[in-house]
A and B are shown apart, each in its own frame.
Chain A
Amino acid sequence: MADEIRAVAAADWAEAAAALHAAGIRWFDWLGAVDEIGREDAIRIMLRAAPEPDADGVRLETRVPRSGGTLASVRAVWAGAAWHEREVADFFGVAFAGGDPRPLLLRPGTAGHPLLRDAVLAARAVRPWPGAKEPGDVVAAGRRRMVPPGVPDPAIWGERTGSPAEPEEIAASVAGGRVRGRR
């Protein structure tokens, strides 16, 4: 038993949602998004609805471009979806036509969208990270140093000279871990 996954074109999104509701799949669970950078230049948006809370349902998904993506709002089908759409708009920069345009979690005027994978958590890059130390507090010469998740390899962002790194490069390096020490 599992949800059915139904991929639709972005243009058919609101219509597909309305069709679910009309078919009796009326219980709205959630709506969310994933940044697909590195695989394709897209944000994947998903919503899940089911006939009733504990039943198997349908996961509707679609893709919009990473920058300037727009999707029709489904708040006319499920009023509660507007809350999730506002969250996706804040975190991924996707606009919902006909949705509630107010930011939900970010302050108005906040620059950038923090859940895009190439968003650098700049506050983390400037604050000392307690995990940067090695056991025994040794900082051995030539040892590869650690960076926290959300902060790219300094060679790619921060200490890089010349042209800025491509978003794909930044996104691939923000998982945290060991980076090459500087010569």
Chain B
Amino acid sequence: MTHARIRLVTDRCTSCMICARECPTWCIGISSHTEPLPDSPPGPRQRTHHVLDSFTLDWSLCMYCGICIEECPFDALEWDTEVPRATASAAAMTEELT
């Protein structure tokens, strides 16, 4: 497997924030919100889950260490074979992976 980029398997991600906390270069940004589970009745004991809104990776900071892939408890991050796309600005190196 070539370590060319990192792919997010969106439906496995639980927005747990572990990868964003473990990344040594702080290049992962995650936004999520909380929604009630459909089969949980409303009220104070209603059960909720987190829904991922945005998962960004700044390729200008990423050093391809693979720590995020190692640490994800849900195998939602994987190595991929294609390199991130070329950009004309540093800001554009931040890519939305969802």
CA gap between A137 and B32 in the complex, in Å: 6
Q: How many residues of A contact B (CB 8 A)?
A: 13
Within 8 A of A (CB), among B46-89: 48, 50
B interface bracket (residues with beta carbon within 8 Å of A) = 10 to 19
Q: A131-B17, A131-B20, A148-B21 are in contact. Are A136 and B33 (CB under 8 A)?
A: yes
B 16-40 to A, binary, CB cutoff 8 A, 1 in contact else 0: 1100111100101111111000000
Count the A-B residue pairs with Cβ separation under 8 angstroms: how many? Answer: 39
Are A130 and B14 in contact, with the CB atoms below 8 A? no
* Further pairs besides A127-B26, A131-B21: 13, Cβ < 8 Å: A129-B26, A130-B20, A130-B23, A131-B17, A133-B30, A133-B31, A135-B14, A135-B50, A136-B15, A136-B34, A136-B50, A137-B31, A146-B21
Give chain B's interface residues, CB within 8 Å of chain A. Answer: 14-17, 20-23, 26, 28-34, 48, 50
Binding site for B on A (CB under 8 A): 127, 129-131, 133-138, 146, 148, 176
